[in-house]
């Protein structure tokens, strides 16, 4: 749903305008504290696709795929399970996408964060609500830091409503969404590579 918030369009404009110079590094993360009281919660069921990587780690991975248009050339990953054979609850990935180096993190054990930072040769961009603008009634902030000055861009939108409208339009008109489909395939392929590297696709394996 976050793909449909207009903040991404504004972010792309800022990058194309050279607002932070040459993009060098990206930090993207999604965290929240997942209660362990409900044993049937799908998030804690690796046999049903649960775990931090697939539940919320997919957002930073998808964001980098959208931002760069490619899968990572190389990466390293560390992960931790809540118990032997259980779901992954903490995942950290360091990756290289061409010349861009990225740090991608997700966990069920840290205070809520759903943000991204883009560091360039002439400044930085901070998106504190890139994945969950709905926590501020749909208003997302893009903070530009350059030359000691800080400028805030507020972008309003309803990412869930826009997602539904986009889907309904595609169905009603029978038109495909090749860009969206390509990004989804890219994200799925990258997640599979990360899971294999961390042995998260092997029940009970150490990660």
What residue ranges of the chain have pLDDT lower than 70?
A: 37-39, 202-207
Residue 105 neighbours by CB under 8 Å, 6+ apart? 27, 28, 29, 30, 31, 57, 60, 91, 92, 93
Give tens-digit pLDDT for 131-158: 999 999 999 999 999 999 999 999 999 9
* pLDDT for res 35: 84
Q: Indicate the pTM of the whole model.
A: 0.93
CA–CA separation, 72 and 185 (whole Å): 13
Query: Can you give the C-alpha Rg of the chain in angstroms?
Result: 18
**Phi, psi values for residue 138, rounded to 5°:** 90, -5
Confirm if 10 and 142 have CB atoms less than 8 A apart. Answer: yes
* pLDDT for res 36: 77
Q: What is the dihedral of CA 42, 47, 53, 55, to 10 degrees?
A: -30
Confirm if 193 and 186 have CB atoms less than 8 A apart. Answer: no
């Amino acid at each position: 749903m976050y793909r449909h918030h207009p903040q991404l369009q504004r972010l792309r404009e800022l990058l194309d305008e050279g607002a932070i110079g040459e993009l060098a590094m990206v930090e993207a993360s999604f965290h929240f504290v997942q209660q362990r009281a409900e044993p049937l919660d799908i998030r804690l069921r690796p046999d049903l696709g649960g775990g931090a990587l697939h539940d919320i780690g997919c957002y930073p991975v998808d964001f980098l795929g959208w931002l760069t248009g490619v899968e990572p050339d190389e990466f390293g990953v560390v992960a931790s399970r809540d118990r032997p054979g259980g779901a992954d609850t903490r995942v950290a990935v360091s990756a290289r996408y061409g010349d861009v180096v990225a740090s991608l993190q997700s966990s069920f054990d840290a205070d809520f964060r759903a943000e991204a930072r883009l560091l360039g040769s002439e400044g930085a961009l901070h998106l504190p609500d890139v994945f969950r603008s709905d926590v501020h009634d749909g208003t997302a902030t893009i903070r530009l830091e350059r030359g000691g000055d800080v400028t805030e861009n507020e972008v309003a939108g309803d990412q869930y409503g826009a997602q539904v409208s986009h889907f309904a339009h595609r169905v009603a008109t029978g038109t495909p969404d090749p860009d969206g489909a390509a990004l989804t395939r890219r994200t799925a392929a990258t997640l599979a590579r990360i899971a294999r590297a961390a042995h998260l696709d092997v029940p009970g394996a150490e990660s």
